[in-house]
A = this chain, B = another copy of it.
């Protein structure tokens, strides 16, 4: 199969990471980059030592008009996703969009409809889903695995990072006109995604924002907690906490009927080449309850490519399959994004209702 040629719209910090990931992925190549000014685009190309073959544009339009581009990656502010994703799809470009996918599910549906009607692949930029550690944990979440954690009862996840005063005043991610969701979009996308993933993408019954939310003067969420509840097939609760105001944490804990999984770096692993999680199975107290019969097992998972390159590789594999073999776009990734967005919307609605429960 041919290498998939990527165009990047925008020179945000995250674009540096994904440009490198495209270079690392064996089935992808960076073909073009664009910023709103040619100077910024050239600076980005120079600073990241991009090969001379990469086309450097001073407008996003030039990328989506370039017939050499197969797929676009959009590291733009969320408010611009719908415009540029729909434009790119209409030009038959496959769309990899940074998370959060959109400001709300209505916008996301416009994107997904544009992708579907143009026969192009859609995927959001949640990289951790592509790490082999995630697949390894998923195996332990399977109901049919008698050596796994069994029926999931409880999920806990956090996505917090400390920011500077400068960030809190000026960063795109806290500007109401650019990223109105703030921490709910940028950070909760991961925790909501992880909760859905742990529940096999079954939507929760009820979503409730918790009253510790902090917003900035523009109304953008800087810190938020929420609780997701499932009634069927069994009662499950997933509590999430996301904040730009706290120390770095990326905790994920899942407790089921037979075991539990714990890790502290689920979104960005501590290091690139391997990752681990703790797996506890069949734990009981010893006689007199003075200790445990087992310790958590440290499960180590090596990865040849970093998770962002694995994401690009998976996306490019789907694109090449459509391009070269006439396959249909995968519905899996759009569905994951849409369910995540639905829960983001529900948390926002609950927040707007003064933390009342929202039934999905």
- Which A residues are closer than 8 A to B by beta carbons? 13-14, 16-17, 20, 149-150, 153-154, 156, 158, 160-162, 206, 208, 210-212, 214, 223, 225, 227, 229-230, 235-237, 239, 241, 243, 245-249, 251, 253, 255-260, 262, 264-265, 268-272, 278, 280, 283-285, 288-292, 295-296, 306, 308, 355, 357
From known contacts A208-B210, A227-B210, A236-B212, infer whether A268 and B247 are also in contact, taking CB-CB under 8 Å.
Answer: no
From known contacts A255-B158, A291-B269, infer whether A237 and B241 are also in contact, taking CB-CB under 8 Å.
Answer: yes
From known contacts A17-B289, A306-B290, infer whether A264 and B247 are also in contact, taking CB-CB under 8 Å.
Answer: no
Partner of A235 from B214, B229, B265 at Cβ < 8 Å: B214
Q: Is B156 touching A160 in the complex (CB atoms < 8 A)?
A: no
State how many copies of this chain the complex holds: 2
Chain B residue numbers with a CB within 8 Å of A295 are 270
Chain B residue numbers with a CB within 8 Å of A278 are 264
Q: Is B211 touching A247 in the complex (CB atoms < 8 A)?
A: no
A258 to B246, CA, bound (A): 7
> What is the chain B residue whose CB lies nearest that of A295?
B270
Known: A214-B235, A249-B283. 7 other contacts (CB 8 A): A156-B239, A161-B285, A210-B227, A211-B357, A225-B237, A247-B255, A264-B278
Q: Is B268 touching A17 in the complex (CB atoms < 8 A)?
A: no
Q: Is A256 touching B247 in the complex (CB atoms < 8 A)?
A: yes
Say how far A48's CB is from chain B's closest CB, in angstroms.
10
A249 to B262, CA, bound (A): 10
> What is the chain B residue whose CB lies nearest that of A287?
B16
A149 to B211, CA, bound (A): 23
